[in-house]
Structure 1
C-alpha cells in the first residue's frame, strides 16, 4: 500500500523554567516541520460485458476507488488495446479471449482484473449412442431393453444443457442414460444449448423394440365333446404379433418333422398329436405348443351274449331255436367294446322301461318277475366321444312266479 505525505505547520514549543532563585527564563525551541503518514487504498477494477455476435460491450462502471479513477485500459486479448469506462469492440473471429481491465486513480494507484470472453456463434453438436450398438433382433428390431447415451460437444463456450423427448412428449433435461423397454416404435428427439445461448437444430432417430413373442391360435372346424371329435376335423392356425408382425408358423402332425404351415390340417379318426409355434419378424419365437386331437367317429360295438336264440328254462339254454323263448328267470348279459374313446356306460331297457346300467364294458341283469308274452330287450351303449349304439331283441317270456 502506498503512503500519502501530509505537511504540518511549524509548532513553537515554549518551555518556561522557573529556577529555584525565582529567576524566570524562557526558551523557544523550534521543533521544525515533520510528516505524518496516512494510508491510501488501491482502486477496485470490475467490469461486466454483453456479447452480440462478434461485438462486445465492456462496462467498467462497477469499478470504484476512494479517490477518483482517471484511466481505464482494456487489453482485448487479441493484441488490441482500448480505453474508456465503456468500450464497444468487434472481434474478427470466434474464439476465447482473455480480456483484462486496468484502472488507475488520481494517486497513481492501479489495479487489474481479467475475464474470459467467448465469441461463439457456432451451436453445439450432439450425437447419440445406442446400447446394443445394433439391433439384436432381425430386420432392424431390438428384442431387449435399449439404453441411449447423448453426447454433446462445444469447442468454445461449453455445453449448458441437453434436452430430449420421446414420442413427442414434453422435453426433459438429459442427465444420464435413457432406457426404453416398452415394445413398439419410439422416436427420440434431442438438441443441446451452449453457454452463449447457441441452440442446435433438433435431431431425431427411431428405434423399434419387440421383445414379446407371437402367439398362435388353433381353431377347429367343429366342437368337441368330452375332448373327442365324432367326425373328421379340420385345423387352422392363426398367429398374432402386435408389433413386428408374424414371419412364419411351423407345425407337425403325429411326430413328423416341423414344417412351414401353409394350409388347413385335416385329421381323420385316431388320436393325433399336433405341434406348432410361430416366429415374428424380430426373431422372437414362441414356445412349441403340443395338443392332442382325438377323433372317434364310430360308436361302440355291442354283443348280446345272453339270451341267444333258443329255449331257456330257469336261466339255462335247453336247445336251439330260431327265436328266443324264456321260461322262468333269465340273466341279460351284454358286452361292449370301443377301441378309441372307450365305453362310458351301458343301459338296459325292457319294453322301453329303464332297468339297469353299467359303467364297465359288461352289463348283467337278472329278470325274475312275473312275465307272459313277447318283450323287447334293448341295450344302449355310449362311448366317451358321445357316440351311441344300440341293439334290440324280442323275447317270449313266461314266468308265472
Structure 2
C-alpha cells in the first residue's frame, strides 16, 4: 500500500508596526511533544504531499483556490477515506485564535481606593499569572511607566509615586493578549499633624480660656485617623473641633499627637509642652496715710490714698482694674484718692493675668465699705467753780475745774488740753480736740 504524506505549509503574516507601547508578535505554528499541530487561526493552510517521510513535498492544487482558510478558533480535521479499512484517516489542525489571559495580584501592602484612584502602602509586590486554553502560554511581558516591555520578573515598587503598570502574555502561536494596564500610587509618606493653641503666652502658658485644636494633612492617600493624649493618658481619637483640657490640674502638661493615613503610614509622635495656669492673681490693698478701723468700717481722711498690688504665680499680671461706687472699671496705674466728699464709699478691684485669669467674678479682694472723714470734731468746755470773764480771758479760782468735751459724727481718737498754770491766775491758752486724722 502506498503511503500518502500530507505536508502543511504555513505562510506567516506580519502586522505592520504601530506607534503603540505593545510590540507586534509574529503569528506562527507550534508542535507539542505529542505531535499535535497548532497554528495561529488566521494563518492560511497549504497542502503538500510526498511518498516518503523525507521526500520532496509537492503542493496540491485546489480546483478553485491555492490556499485553505480555517474557520476560526478550534480543532479542524482533514480526512482521507480509506476503502481498505473502511474508515477515514484524519489529520487534525489546532487553530489557536484566542490569546492568553493574564491576571495580576497586588499583595503584601495596605490598599485604599478613593474614587477611581488606587493607593498602596509599604511592601507592595505584584505577581502576574497567565493561562491559555489551547497552545499554551509562551511568555508574559510587563513595563513600568512607559518603559520598554521586558519578560516578566517580580517588579519593584519601592519608591513613592504614581505608577502605570502594563502587562500582557503571548501564546505559542503568536496570539498576543490585549494590553492590560493598572494605574496606582505608592504612598510611603506619613501624614503631618499640627497643633494650634489660641491664647498662649510666649512662655507656653495657657488658661482655661485657651482653645486647642489639631489640623492634619496628607498629600496622597489622605488622613485616616488622628490620635492625641495629655501626659500619660491613653490615646484618644481626635474627631475635630476643640480639644477639652479644662479638667487638667494647674501646672505643667504635655500634649502628644499623631496621625495615620489610609495605607497605615504612621506619623512620628509629636508633642507640645505647656503650663496650664488656672490660678487667678492674688491682690492686696494698702492704705497710704490715715486710717482707722471700727468694726467692719475703714475710715480714711482726705489725705489718704489707696494702693493696689497684684501678684501672679506664673503668667504675670496683665492689668489691674478698679471701680469706686459702682462706676465703670478703670485701669489702675498709681495709688489714688477716694472721692472728695464725706461718707461711705465702696471700692472693688480685680486683676487679669496674661492668660486672662482674673479675680473679678467673686470680688475676693473688694475692700467693701470705706468711710471718708473730711471734717474735724466739734469741741466744748465748761467751768465748774468761780469764774470771771474779761475780754477774751476767763479768770478762775484754784478751786475751779475745767471740763473739755469733743463730738464727732464719725470717730474721735483723743482730746488734748493745754494750759498754763499760775498761782494767782489760770489762763486757758488753747483747747485742742483732734480726731483720728489730726483735724484741729
Instruction: Give the TM-score of the pair, scaled to structure 1.
Output: 0.46
Structure with a larger share of its residues in strand: 1
